[in-house]
Amino acid sequence: MLALTDLKDSYTALHSTHVQQLSLLIYKNIDKSVKRKINRNNLKKSSLFHDVGKVYTPSDILLKNGNLTDSEFEEMKKHTLVGEKIMKRTNNKNIAMHVLFHHERYDSNGYWGLNEQDTTIEAKIITCADCFSAMVSNRPYKKAMNINDAIDEIKKLSGSQFDPVVVEAFLKINSKELIKLNSMLR
């Protein structure tokens, strides 16, 4: 399935692998009481396939070199719904749910306006990893941030965009691991 998204946007394949690796590093560092609630295998799969729904996003929107219009953004949001449908076919509703929720925010201002209790810890991990990966990546519409600025942004958004428990685990990732992992995006 990942190869399908790569056909449309080679960035998505690298990004998905990056998000998966970041998600697993966050998982490794998360509080033990929270870790017990997480199915590592489901996190591994759902983080890799979090953007699989983009195979149905029109290329002119997916690859646009500039800001999306409101209608284009509404179309882009559908990738979570499509991804959920695709992943439901794997007969794992939990993975489908994590894919659906990966653009929800801790403060309920995400794609679908869900509050933090309605999403999953796996989706919250993917959200943090996804955003960090996007920040440190060059895209047609923006230059990559340096790692330290991106880390500062994650810290700043703890409690609003990101679950503080997830941010705490993210901040425990060794900087050498982050630098090594980010080299895959260059």
SS (H, E, C) the chain: CHHHHHHHCHHHHHHHHHHHHHHHHHHHHCCHHHHCCCCHHHHHHHHHCCCHHHHHCCHHHHCCCCCCCHHHHHHHHHHHHHHHHHHHCCCCHHHHHHHHHCCCCCCCCCCCCCCHHHCCHHHHHHHHHHHHHHHCCCECCECCCCHHHHHHHHHHCECCCECHHHHHHHHCCCHHHHHHHHHHHC
Summarised one tens digit per residue, pLDDT across range 5-18 is 555 556 666 889 99
- Residue range 55-68: mean pLDDT, rounded: 90
Where residue 111 falls among pLDDT bands split at 50, 70, 90? very high
CATH number at residue 123: 1.10.3210.10
Total structural domains in the chain? 1
Q: Can you give the pLDDT at residue 3?
A: 47
Owning domain of residue 76: 2-185
Report whether 31 contacts 168 (CB < 8 A).
yes
